[in-house]
Amino acid sequence: MIGNIIIIIASIIGMEIFALYFHKHFMHGRGWNWHESHHVHTDGYFETNDLYAVCFSVIAAGLFISGSLFWMPLWYIALGFTIYGVLYGFVHDGLVHQRWPFYVTPKSRYLKRLVHAHRLHHHTTVKDGAVSFGFLYAEKPEKLKAILKSK
Ligand SMILES: [Zn+2]
Ligand SMILES: [Zn+2]
């Protein structure tokens, strides 16, 4: 039981580290074609960038199936992966971009910092020069503003 909880927590932390690098080097790199729609104004509810979420959902489903068929720890990794997706959806799509049909206001200092940092990420509408690529971890907004100013 404890082993499985450790796997889940490690998987959530691992996903944040992966997401930070993936966002910085792939989405703002070769994958900009899809991600650009999230940095510029687009009409309608959906953005091409949402295809990333679809891809990750398919990967998660694949991990769940493989885990239950071949190796149970993989199933717990998939669970951590999915919990990360839910947290990402809450912070990024909910708190920051307000894509939900109801309004949520961040109350804790941690959540306010995440929202502020991600708004600073959106200061740029081009591939290069953005700051703050994490979703559950963010540097101090003052530091990010200083980096943006120096660019
Ligand atoms: Zn971005
Ligand atoms: Zn965003």
pLDDT class of 105 with cuts at 50, 70, 90: confident
Structure tokens at 45: 């509810």
Q: Angle CA(24)–CA(27)–CA(28) in degrees, nearest 5?
A: 60
| Centre of ligand 2 from the C-alpha of residue 64, in Å | 27
| Centre of ligand 1 from the C-alpha of residue 7, in Å | 28
Structure tokens at 105: 């206001």
Q: How far is CA 115 from CA 4, 55, 108, 128, 138, in A?
A: 31, 24, 11, 21, 9
Residue with tokens 């769940």: 64
| Centre of ligand 1 from the C-alpha of residue 10, in Å | 24
pLDDT confidence of residue 35 = 96
pLDDT confidence of residue 6 = 96
Question: In this predicted model, what pLDDT tens digit does every residue of 118-150 receive, in sequence order?
Answer: 999 999 899 998 999 999 999 999 999 999 888
> Where in the sequence is the domain holding 103, given as residue range(s)?
2-150
Confirm if 112 and 99 have CB atoms less than 8 A apart: no
**% of the chain with per-residue pLDDT over 90:** 84
Question: In this predicted model, what pLDDT tens digit does every residue of 6-16 receive, in sequence order?
Answer: 999 999 999 99
Q: Angle CA(132)–CA(108)–CA(106) in degrees, nearest 5?
A: 75
| Centre of ligand 1 from the C-alpha of residue 28, in Å | 6
| Centre of ligand 1 from the C-alpha of residue 151, in Å | 17
Question: In this predicted model, what pLDDT tens digit does every residue of 4-56 receive, in sequence order?
Answer: 999 999 999 999 999 999 999 999 999 999 999 999 988 888 999 999 999 99
Q: Which ligand is nearest to the CA of 96?
A: 2
Residue 100 has pLDDT above 90, yes or no: no
Total domain count, the chain: 1
